[in-house]
Amino acid sequence: MATSRQSKSGAAERAAQLRAEINEHNRRYYALDDPSIPDAEYDALFRELQELEAQHPELLTPDSPTQRLGTAPLAKFEPVRHRVPMLSLNNAFEEEEVRAFDRRCREVLGVEEIEYSAEPKFDGLAVSLRYENGVFVQGATRGDGATGENVTQNLRTVRNLPLQLPAAKKPPAVLEVRGEVLMYKKDFAEMNRKQAETGGKAFVNPRNASAGALRQLDPRITATRPLRFMAYGVGDVSGRLAQGTHSELMAWLRGLGLPVNGEAATAKGPDGLLAYYARIQAKRRDLPFEIDGVVYKVNDFRQQEELGFVSRAPRFAVAHKFPAEEALTQVEDIYVNVGRTGALTPVARLVPVFVGGVTVTNVSLHNEEEVQRKDVLIGDTVFVRRAGDVIPELVSVVKERRPADARAFHMPRKCPVCGSAAVRLEGEAVTRCTGGLVCGAQRKGALIHFASRRAMDIEGLGEKLVDQLVEGGIVHTPADLYGLSVETLSGLERMGEKSAANVVEAIDRSRDTTLARFINALGIRNVGESTAADLARHFGALEPLLEADEERLEEVPDVGPTVADSIRKFLGEPHNRKVIERLVDPKDGGIRIEQASRPRNAAAGILSNKTFVLTGTLPGMTREEARDLIEAAGGKVQASVSKKTDWVVAGEAAGSKLDKAQALGVAVLDEPGLLALLKQKG
Give catalytic residues, as residue numbers. 121
For residue 218, report the phi and psi dihedrals to the nearest 5 degrees: -100, 110
User: Which residues, in sequence order, are CB contacts of 521 under 8 Å at separation 6+?
Assistant: 449, 450, 452, 455, 456, 478, 513
CA distances from 460 to 291, 400, 434, 495 (A): 51, 58, 28, 11
Is the torsion defined by CA of 518, 519, 522, 526 positive or negative? negative
The percent helix, strand, coil of the chain (3-state, each to 5) is 40, 20, 40
| Distance between start and end Cα atoms, the chain | 87
Please give the biggest Cα pair distance in the chain: 103
The partner residues of 318 in beta bridges, in order of sequence, read 296
Instruction: Give pairs for 215-221: CB < 8 Å, separation 24+.
Output: 215/33, 215/74, 215/77, 215/141, 215/149, 215/151, 215/154, 216/154, 217/76, 219/153, 219/154, 219/156, 219/157
Amino acid at 216: Q
Q: What is the side-by-side strand order in the sheet with 125-132?
A: 135-141, 125-132, 174-183, 227-237
Distance CA 471, CA 475 (A): 9
Containing 414, the helix (H) or strand (E) segment is none
3 state DSSP class of 423:
strand
How buried is residue 323: exposed, middle or buried, by Cβ count under 10 Å (0-12/13-18/19+)?
Answer: middle
Contact, 46 vs 319, CB < 8 A?
no
Three-state SS at 22:
helix
Q: Is 199 left (phi over 0), alpha (psi -120 to 50) or beta?
A: left
State the pairing for strand pair 381-385/358-364.
unpaired
Number of other residues whose CB lies within 10 A of the CB of residue 362: 14
Ordered DSSP codes for 203-236? PS-HHHHHHHHHT-SSHHHHHTS-EEEEEEEEEE
Residue type, 502: N
**Among 419, 314, 428, which residue's Cα sits nearest to residue 368?**
428
User: Which residues make beta-bridge pairs with 493?
Assistant: none
